Amino acid sequence: MYIKWKLSVSVVVFLTVFSVFCPPASGQKLENIWMKRLDQISPIYEKTDTVSLFFIGDVMMHARQLEYDFRTFLEPLRERVSKADLAVANMEFTLAGMPYSGYPAFSAPDAYADYVADLGTDVFLTANNHILDKGREGLERTIRIYRNMEKVMMTGVSESAEADESGYPLMVAVKGTRIALINFTYGTNVPNESIWPKVNYADTSDIRKAFRRAKDAGAEFIIALPHWGVEYQLNHCPAQEKLATWLAANGADAIIGAHPHVVQDTTHIGNVPVVYSMGNAVSNMSATNTRLELAVTVRIARKGKNRAIMLEPELEFLWCTLPGTLTSSYATIAVRDYIGKRNLWKDPSDYDNMVATLSRVLRSTGINDTYNNL
């Protein structure tokens, strides 16, 4: 059951591979539940409760970003991330060690991932086209670092058949609500030349296994998180729509995508909401539309043992400020927090750029908003 879309902004293959290129400390808010532990979960059903899931797009580390203190990058979003019951970020880089590098072969400092986790992020998505930028050794090191982090879980890649069996999909219990996260990518820039470590690709036979595991494990909601689409295009491509239709037909309750580096249109397929692309979360990109992005909040309302409803996603526009525009570094801000505050900008023309970009993206994507004074 769904209610109408809420835009939270005051300005706010089939040949087997489907071609779509066009655990935490006790007391924390999140409990990781691998398949074998599902029967140990004892939700409290006596009261109405709401679970909030918060998603952001591509967290990147371009070469110029390496020159700045990354602890400023997502700081304006800290409260939003930390208050969510489950926060998810798409980590589009490797942790391959030094020397650090940006595009086209990303290797970010380990401390960058620590920072994103410290914000309150619970899950890192790792199935993306850059995850093999530093080859097998880079991927193995990335997995090892993430596995050793106490405050965050990862999904999208796996180091062994056992890890794949237990972690694809990633099953979590949030306030007793069982949720499956299924993350996969259209491909990788560097081919994966070995079976393990595995990257989850947009292979419908593999995704079908993940759906089956989720259902067998008692998942109440399944959220598909594809890395797909054509870069820099504000509207989805036919391949995205084809795969989204397949995902909806096979049990996805919501589809939230990444990769194009821009916000794309949103829709429904049947009762399933589809956010085709959130865009970047933070990057050094300055090409048209690449600095405007979406944060997506999904809420699940529960009352009673068998009554849980996923509400419509809430969309909030973000803007990635570059050094010298708002502050001396990078900072991703919520547009609604800064609308009408042009005087705060070091470079007021960047405020104008933000508003113009928002207006252009709203017109192109058809996303509805509640701000009528652009």
DSSP state letters, 214-272: HHHTT-SEEEEEEE-S-TT-SS--HHHHHHHHHHHHTT-SEEE-B-SSS---EEEETTE
* Rounded average pLDDT over 275-285: 98
Rounded distance between C-alpha atoms, residue 63 and residue 284, angstroms: 8
pLDDT, mean over the chain? 89
CA atoms of 228 and 239, how far apart (whole Å)? 9
Q: pTM for the whole thing?
A: 0.90
Q: What is the pLDDT of residues 44-63, one digit of tens each?
A: 444 568 999 999 999 999 99
Cβ atoms 94, 109 nearer than 8 A: no
99-132 pLDDT, tens digit each: 999 999 999 999 999 999 999 999 999 999 999 9
| pLDDT tens figures, 308-365 | 999 999 999 999 999 999 999 999 999 999 999 999 999 999 999 999 999 999 999 9
DSSP class of 77? G
According to DSSP, the residues that pair with 255 across neighbouring strands are 224, 274
> What average pLDDT does the segment 79-85 reach?
98
Task: State yes or no: pLDDT of 6 exceeds 50.
Answer: no
CA distance 196 to 168: 14
Inter-residue contact 319 to 335 (CB < 8 Å): yes
Cis peptide leading into 260, omega within 30 of 0? no
Task: Of 349, 351, 333, give the one whose Cα is nearest residue 341.
Answer: 351
* Percent of the chain clearing pLDDT 70 (strictly above): 86
Beta carbons of 135 and 265 less than 8 angstroms apart: no
Q: Which helix H or strand E contains 91, and what residues bound it?
A: strand 86-91
Query: Using an 8 Å Cβ cutoff, are 131 and 168 in contact?
Result: no
Q: Is the dihedral of CA 145, 147, 151, 152 positive or negative?
A: positive
Q: What is the C-alpha separation between 123 and 172, in angstroms, rounded?
A: 10
- CATH architecture group of domain 6-365: 4-Layer Sandwich (3.60)
Asked if residue 313 has a cis previous peptide bond (ω within 30° of 0), the answer is no
